[in-house]
A and B are shown apart, each in its own frame.
Chain A
Amino acid sequence: MNGARVIQTNALSKSYGRVQAVRNLNLAVEANRITGFLGRNGAGKSTTIKMLLGLIRPTEGGGTVLGKQITHREGNRKTRQRVAYVAEDKPLYRYMTVEQMIRFTASFYGDWRPEISRKLLLEYELPPDRKVKTLSKGMRTKLALLLAFSRNPDLLILDEPSEGLDPVMIEHLLQTMVAQAGQGAAVFFSSHQIAEVERIADQVCILDRGCLLLDTSLDRLRESYRRIDLVLPSEAAEHEFRIPGVERIRTNGRQVSVFASGNAEAVIERAHDFHAISVEVAPVGLREIFLETVKEN
């Protein structure tokens, strides 16, 4: 499935009354990759994911998951056998015990791996006999993750999986996501934790106010995004540095700070043309890119 797309949307949109939760989203998620879906709270991440799974209907546009139309009810049911999904609110049956919940879920899926389920039950330190309704929020999240990770899906969709987990559990979670990817699952996860995405994702999609602002590989992002800080011999006009790739310029007298998504070489050359006294080039982390991108919107 190399290079194949596990998720593809076409102008996918969802409105609630006059509020546009998702606007004209063209998303393409590749197989054999970990894709981070980054956005602020309320950016439209969960709405998008629910549309992908056929849980809510798009107002306009459409898409496919594992090649099946997301608005096609029968296709959807088949797709769900090959997709593992952890919802944002981690819904579970409150009256069941942990063990009953696991057995109940296992009965639905042909790809259930009992050995993984047993291993995670121990690692997550979940009490098998406790009723779901008496579990803490963190424990409930762990149980929801166990139910998804115990399967062997083609696509794993996780909506804010690290929400409510402590740092040790988050580390374990990221490791398990990497392991799932290693077994061939495409992983698509939403998060507002930038550091998580930056560590394990191959690809990052930034959603803000329902719009896709950025969809690029982390490799490309690391290679091409730079901040270039200059000190010039005399005050410079900002427009001199408006060249392709430059996203933002701040000037303060003879100091110029350039934020570039690429083409840093041209900025440096321009700086030399102006006989810059000092040229400092620094890499830009995903946090800064996220903040700059969202601010522009």
Chain B
Amino acid sequence: MTLFKLIPTSGQPLYLQLMQQIRHAAETGALQNGDQLPGIRTLAEELVVSPNTVAKAYSELEHEGLLEMRQGAGAFVCVKRRTRLLTDHVHAARAKVRDLIEELRENGLQDEEIRRAFEAELLIPAAIARKR
């Protein structure tokens, strides 16, 4: 059993998807400080993805300070205060998104149209989005 689900066709590298899901799990409290994640090989077999995908996600998260790799023992979550702050940011963002969606629905937009609008905007790189 694992919390993570990677979508091969989503237009985002699988290691990035895994990083985001681990980060999200830490921000929501699904993963707590000191929790152990499966080893690289185990998780790769569970998710049926290349071990390189898991290795890259773990190593990037170790760089960010969210994971601690212990030789032979696997990966451990280390939630610092910064992560908690992020949790607040995420909560605030969700509230904003909720309001916006409500407004768009009131304007008569279908959920499917709203979803496509969000997805299309998210795929536009940040550098260009700012210029507009």
Residues of A in contact with B (beta carbons under 8 Å apart): 32-34, 171, 174-175, 178-179, 181-183, 195, 198-202, 218-219, 222-223, 225-226, 264-265, 268-269, 272, 279-287
Residue of A181, A218, A226 near B51 (CB, 8 A) is A181
Q: Mark B60-91, 1 if CB is under 8 A from A, else 0.
A: 00000000000000000000000000000000
Which of A32, A174, A175, A182: most chain B CB closer than 10 A?
A182
Residues of B in contact with A (beta carbons under 8 Å apart): 8-15, 40-41, 44-45, 48-53, 116, 119-120, 123-125, 127-128, 132
Q: Are B41 and A222 in contact (CB under 8 A)?
A: no
Chain A facing B: main interface SS: helix
**Which chain A positions have C-beta within 8 A of B124?**
268, 279, 281
**Which chain A positions have C-beta within 8 A of B40?**
182
User: In chain B, what residue has the closest Cβ to A35?
Assistant: B50
Q: Are B120 and A265 in contact (CB under 8 A)?
A: no
Q: Roughly how many angstroms separate A201 CA and B116 CA in the complex, as a whole number?
A: 29
User: In chain A, what residue has the closest Cβ to B41?
Assistant: A182
Q: Could you tell me the distance in whole angstroms from the C-beta of B116 to the nearest C-beta in chain A?
A: 7
Q: Are A33 and B52 in contact (CB under 8 A)?
A: yes
Q: Are B52 and A32 in contact (CB under 8 A)?
A: yes
Q: Are A226 and B123 in contact (CB under 8 A)?
A: yes
Q: Are A178 and B116 in contact (CB under 8 A)?
A: no
Residue of A34, A219, A268 near B15 (CB, 8 A) is A219
Q: Are A178 and B48 in contact (CB under 8 A)?
A: yes
> Given A182-B44, A218-B13, A282-B120, 6 other A-B contacts at CB below 8 A?
A33-B50, A171-B48, A181-B50, A181-B51, A195-B8, A281-B123
Q: Are B127 and A265 in contact (CB under 8 A)?
A: yes
